[in-house]
Chain A
Amino acid sequence: MEITLQVNGVPRAVDVDPRMSLLDLLRERLGLIGAKKGCDHGQCGACTVLIDGRRANSCLALAVAVDGSQVTTVEGLADGEDLHPLQAAFIEHDAFQCGYCTPGQLCSALGMLGEPGPSVVTEDITADPGLTPEEIRERMSGNLCRCGAYVNIVSAIAEVAP
């Protein structure tokens, strides 16, 4: 099936099998290997990208079902040689070891910063809370880090959070 996507601002038209995930499309057809295939079941978050500005597991999205969407991958975060503030903060805070989960962590953090609502740890569910370390930990729970860099990931995100 013929589908069209805007990937990191670039229009891409591709012919895909209905079985193909967005993750496989990005990695195998478009050569964007930033998003990683960790578990392929939506449990680890390594494949996280933004679909129409919202973070999502690209392994659980059928490419045909996101036809017409705008997709942002980790390759789309930097402005040329200028790193995105989140990328710079991850380096500054040593927020990774092996780096495998990092593209997903970055995209997830970027999406999370655009989600103003409460989380399950928010005391007053009717308020929009500030991003305390506890809030960041809860909101980033869809991204696993096998190296256990969580403490530095939280401090990197906290530096960029408003």
Chain B
Amino acid sequence: MKPFDYARAASTTEAVRAFGPGTMYLGGGTNLVDLMRLGVAEPERLVDVSRLPLDRIEAVGDRVRVGATVRNTDLAFDPLIRARYPMLARAVLSGASGQVRNVATVAGNLLQRTRCTYFQDVTRPCNKRRPGSGCPAIEGDHAGLAVLGTSGACVATHPSDMAVALAALEAEVHVTGPAGDRIIPMPGLHRLPGDEPERDTVLEPGDLITAVELPPPPPGASLYRKVRERASFAFALVSIAAVLDVRPDGTVGACRIALGGLAHVPWRAERAEQALIGGPATGEAFLEAAEAELEPARPLPRNAYKVPLARNLIVSTLEELAP
């Protein structure tokens, strides 16, 4: 690991002021410390923000504000979150292990990097790690990688489960930084790779996430489901956060769908939602909506399985949600 300076910030203002070239913020460190050990991240200075007083979950009117340093376990165990946003609690609990969730923060979960093997291997080219060096995943091992919104430069996926639920809940990410405060609605925090895959998010240098605010949950029943290669402690091949409200006449009143494991971002399935709203809540309609969503998919030879897997997951999840 490359030497670095370490400083602990006592306030968000102090943290932002301490940020300079070569600086990274340190949250729980469950991803960053590993990336530093791998040589993927080489900060010259760490500003530790994990002990900032941003560790509270509080109801604000009909919304819930989750501080940036709330640990994943505390978010998932919180009675208010479990009662009002059960899909979010289940998404958080489906990620990582008990040990990691005890330490990982909400902001760190959003900002974790892709687990693409080439990104994590400094002996290989990677446009995300070393811009312009190439993407060996496109010709090589891309079995776990993206099929939607990819570019010729990068086919990485965003690995978070929590972010998928937050995208479906239209959570707001509160950010402070050198240019002041702003609010970014999910899934707008993350960006598609395009020709700048080194940028995972729309955040600017020095920007610091302070909270995630949850609007009132949409009407309807909700589910988070995750398909992975083993029963626990594995990243999603495909995951889904879905909310479905079916009117008494059998038509879809409201619908939110977000998909994980398919793209560089938590993928909000707007095509599917538009296809469903106002129409019948039937298996046939669910299949048509899923196919509409996945029509733009451009799979590679070894991840083509994700398209029918995602289609079937969307259909079976909506069928389970429909009364």
Q: Is the CB of B37 within 8 A of A41?
A: yes
Q: How far is the CA of A126 from the CA of B222 in the complex (A)?
A: 14
The chain A residue sitting closest to B97, CB to CB, is A142
Q: Is the CB of A18 within 8 A of B98?
A: no
Asked if B30 CB lies within 8 Å of chain A CBs, one says yes
Q: Are A21 and B6 CB-contacts (below 8 A) given A61-B103, A65-B48, A125-B82?
A: no
Q: Are A126 and B83 CB-contacts (below 8 A) given A60-B34, A62-B33?
A: yes
Produce 1/0 per residue, A122-137, CB < 8 A to B. Answer: 0001100000000001
The residues of B that contact A137 with a CB separation of less than 8 Å are 231-232
Asked if A160 CB lies within 8 Å of chain B CBs, one says no
Asked if B5 CB lies within 8 Å of chain A CBs, one says yes
Q: How far is the CA of A120 from the CA of B79 in the complex (A)?
A: 15
Asked if B102 CB lies within 8 Å of chain A CBs, one says yes
Q: How far is the CA of A55 from the CA of B6 in the complex (A)?
A: 24
> Residue among A54, A61, A116 with the most chain B CB within 10 A?
A54
Q: How far is the CA of A42 from the CA of B26 in the complex (A)?
A: 17
Q: How far is the CA of A118 from the CA of B83 in the complex (A)?
A: 12
Size of the chain A interface, CB-CB below 8 angstroms? 38
Produce 1/0 per residue, B197-218, CB < 8 A to A. Answer: 0000000000000000000000
Asked if A77 CB lies within 8 Å of chain B CBs, one says no
Q: Is the CB of B99 within 8 A of A45?
A: yes
Q: Are A111 and B102 CB-contacts (below 8 A) given A42-B34, A141-B97?
A: yes
Produce 1/0 per residue, A49-61, CB < 8 A to B. Answer: 0010011110011
The 8 A-B pairs with the shortest beta carbon distances in the complex, nearest first, are A142-B97, A117-B77, A141-B232, A18-B6, A120-B93, A141-B233, A54-B102, A120-B94
Q: Closest CB-CB distance, A107 to chain B, in whole Å? A: 9
Q: Is the CB of B33 within 8 A of A60?
A: yes
Q: How far is the CA of A120 from the CA of B3 in the complex (A)?
A: 39
Q: Can you report 30 residue pairs joining A to B where beta carbons are below 8 Å apart?
A: A18-B5, A18-B46, A19-B4, A40-B37, A41-B34, A42-B34, A42-B97, A55-B98, A55-B99, A55-B102, A57-B103, A60-B34, A60-B103, A61-B33, A62-B26, A62-B33, A64-B6, A111-B99, A115-B77, A117-B77, A118-B77, A118-B82, A119-B93, A125-B86, A126-B83, A137-B232, A138-B231, A141-B232, A141-B233, A142-B99
Asked if B160 CB lies within 8 Å of chain A CBs, one says no
Partner of A42, one of B6, B48, B83, B100: B100
Q: Which residues of B contact A (CB under 8 A)?
A: 1, 3-6, 8, 26, 29-30, 33-34, 37, 46, 48, 50, 73, 76-77, 79, 82-83, 86, 89-90, 93-94, 96-100, 102-103, 231-233
The chain A residue sitting closest to B94, CB to CB, is A120
The residues of A that contact B33 with a CB separation of less than 8 Å are 21, 60-62
Q: Is the CB of A60 within 8 A of B30?
A: yes
Q: How far is the CA of A97 from the CA of B145 in the complex (A)?
A: 37
Q: Closest CB-CB distance, B49 to chain A, in whole Å? A: 11
Asked if A14 CB lies within 8 Å of chain B CBs, one says no
The residues of A that contact B5 with a CB separation of less than 8 Å are 18
Q: Is the CB of A142 within 8 A of B6?
A: no
Partner of A56, one of B6, B77, B102: B102
Q: How far is the CA of A141 from the CA of B82 in the complex (A)?
A: 22
Given contacts A117-B82, A125-B89, A137-B232, 8 further A-B contacts (CB under 8 A): A42-B30, A45-B99, A55-B98, A56-B99, A57-B100, A118-B77, A138-B231, A139-B98
Q: Is the CB of A116 within 8 A of B3?
A: no
Q: Is the CB of A1 within 8 A of B34?
A: no
Partner of A60, one of B29, B46, B76, B98: B29
The residues of B that contact A102 with a CB separation of less than 8 Å are none
